Amino acid sequence: MKKLNRYDLLALGIIVVSTLLSLKRLNIFPVFVDIFYHMSTAKGFDMAGGVVLHDFWEFAPLGRTHLYPPLLHVIMAFMYEFLPMVTVGKIISFIMFPLVQLSVFFYTREIFDRKTAFYVVLLITIPFNFYRSQALTNATSLVLVLTPLIFWAVEKNKLLSSVILMSLALYTHISMPHIVGAALIIYAVLNKDKRKMVMKTLAFSYLLFLPWMIHILINYGEMTSETFGTILQSEIHLIPMFFGFIGLVYCFLKKKHYYLPAMYFLSMIVILYKYPMRFWAHIALGISILGGISLSEIENSILRNQKRYGLRIGFVVAILFLIGFNLFDPVFSTTPLGNEFENKNPTILTLAKGNIAPSLITQETMDLCRIVESNIEPDDIFFITNPTIGCLITSVTGRSQMQGMWHEVQPDLKTPPSAAKLFIADTNFLNEAKKRNPDFLRNLTYVGRTERYIVFLQENKFITAKSKIPNTVFPKILAYILLFLSFVGLIIDHRFKL
């Protein structure tokens, strides 16, 4: 490990400051709703005793084919052995941003130089929508953490590390790892020195991923494709994008290992077609690497023209960029109604001010979990009008819900809500239902309420719908052992070239 210099200290200082400010705003975690699905899935794995191929905790009692790659859920299930699931969700949501900062710092410092690493960390910390997306899109976020490490392993010709890291990415998310793979393939076409390394990495990684890939391909017909947002819907952070495009041109001029970040940026454009909202957030990783390269070269040009005081002037420029970029973040955003310029605060300033919406895990939702747990048995099913909160309830109580949070995969036939043992409705839903059918509550017995929800037991004695846990295909203890061996392999390969 290289000895730290002042650029390293600046980069690590940014990471420490943003992390401490995140800790100060811990009430915002877990951010948004995606984590509730992951929490409920990890709970399902724990209940089943390992990885299952059928989701029994949503769309109960029929459930649905479980296609989501299992790595994140295995990690969360392992954490759940020691911590409450709510704490696990909070940690996973919190940790992804500092992890990607450290990951990209390590990669650019080792492959390029310390100055570039500082500027990359500076740029990736600017856009708050990237910070938020790292806390929100948990599985994708983990792939983004792994991506710079995969690039490092390929550049350093560490085959074992590159295969382990790429395999971990493939077992984390259903689509994002293939973008990394595409970038590596294009890189191999342009850089013949890395052709064998890339081909070996991808061949061994996809071979290890083959069991889950076959499972996805067999059941692919059950997935419904959706597009989220429009291509014109954007939130473009102008500072990283400006320097990023300068870096893109520079990388094509420099060639060799400079090609890889450029190819990664270009490979990510495919996200724009299906998920533009995420594209403009996730692109920060690629664009920040390119922008860091361009800023480093700009500073180098200053040093070359200032023989006597170059180093001092260059460092002063770095400090000025550090201060300026953390105070000012012009954003170009588009909506269906037209274009407008906004001036949004960078991440560190946003966290310092603290005007951020708190987490959906509140005293009310936890009270709702306690009501559910005290009124039905573990194999009973509940219905709730808000399936997102249903995932949270499942992750805390282990009870399965009759709806599902995401509908890309769902059973063709659904069990009617009347078959649920517990019925949970928000007050607006109940008021509308009673208007349409005054006898709506006839077979329901009130058992509790929170501010927004009222909970009823179904009095129908013929209720037979029960949640049934399927057989595991991979026991969790074996999954934990494989995960541990992966980390051991990475450590050994980092110290010794294998």
In a domain, 387, yes or no: yes
Same domain, 294 and 370: no
Query: Residue 26 contacts by C-beta under 8 Å, 6 or more apart in sequence?
Result: 90, 94
Q: Which tokens sit at 100?
A: 């990607």
357 DSSP 8-state letter? P
Distance between CA atoms of residues 41 and 56, nearest Å = 9
Same domain, 412 and 349: no
Run of H or E including 51: strand 50-51
Same domain, 305 and 331: yes
Mean pLDDT taken over the chain: 90
Residue-wise pLDDT tens digits, 153-201: 999 999 999 999 999 999 999 999 999 999 999 999 999 999 999 999 9
Distance between CA atoms of residues 183 and 327, nearest Å = 33
Q: Domain containing 166: what range?
A: 6-30+68-356
Same domain, 259 and 273: yes
DSSP, collapsed to helix, strand or coil, labels residue 437 as: coil
Residue 302 scores a pLDDT above 80 = no
Residue-wise pLDDT tens digits, 349-364: 999 998 788 888 999 9
In a domain, 444, yes or no: yes
Q: Are 467 and 394 in contact (CB under 8 A)?
A: no
Residue 341 confidence (pLDDT): 45
List Cα–Cα distances, 280 to 30, 129, 247, 268, in angstroms: 21, 8, 18, 10
Same domain, 395 and 428: yes
Distance between CA atoms of residues 54 and 62, nearest Å = 9
Query: Residue 469 contacts by C-beta under 8 Å, 6 or more apart in sequence?
Result: 47, 48, 52, 56
In a domain, 23, yes or no: yes
Same domain, 262 and 330: yes
**Cis amide leading into 30 (omega within 30):** yes
Same domain, 150 and 198: yes
Q: Are 353 and 255 in contact (CB under 8 A)?
A: no
Q: Which tokens sit at 174?
A: 């259903």
Residue 332 scores a pLDDT above 50 = yes
Same domain, 111 and 227: yes
Same domain, 159 and 307: yes
Total domains in the chain come to 2
Confidence category of residue 338, pLDDT binned at 50, 70, 90: very low
Same domain, 282 and 409: no
In a domain, 498, yes or no: no
Amino acid at 455: V
Confidence category of residue 337, pLDDT binned at 50, 70, 90: very low
Q: Give me the residue label for tokens 């890339």.
A: 198
**b or e along 198-233 (b: 16 or more beta carbons within 10 Å of the residue's beta carbon)?**
beebbebbbebbeebeebeeeeeeeeeeeeeeeeeb
Same domain, 308 and 393: no
Examine the fold and report which residue of 335, 356, 377 is the final residue of a domain before the chain moves on: 356
Count the neighbouring beta carbons within 10 Å of the beta carbon of residue 277.
Answer: 17
Q: Which tokens sit at 447?
A: 């058992």
Distance between CA atoms of residues 360 and 364, nearest Å = 9
Choose the weakest-confidence range: 112-116, 144-148, 414-418.
Answer: 414-418
Establish how many alpha carbons lie within 13 A of residue 318's alpha carbon, considering only the half-sphere containing its beta carbon: 28
Q: Which tokens sit at 451?
A: 């501010």
pLDDT exceeding 70 applies to what percent of the chain? 93
Residue 343 scores a pLDDT above 60 = no
Residue-wise pLDDT tens digits, 243-255: 999 999 999 888 7
Q: Please give the torsion angle defined by the CA atoms of residues 97, 98, 104 and 108, in that order, rounded to the nearest 10 degrees.
A: 150
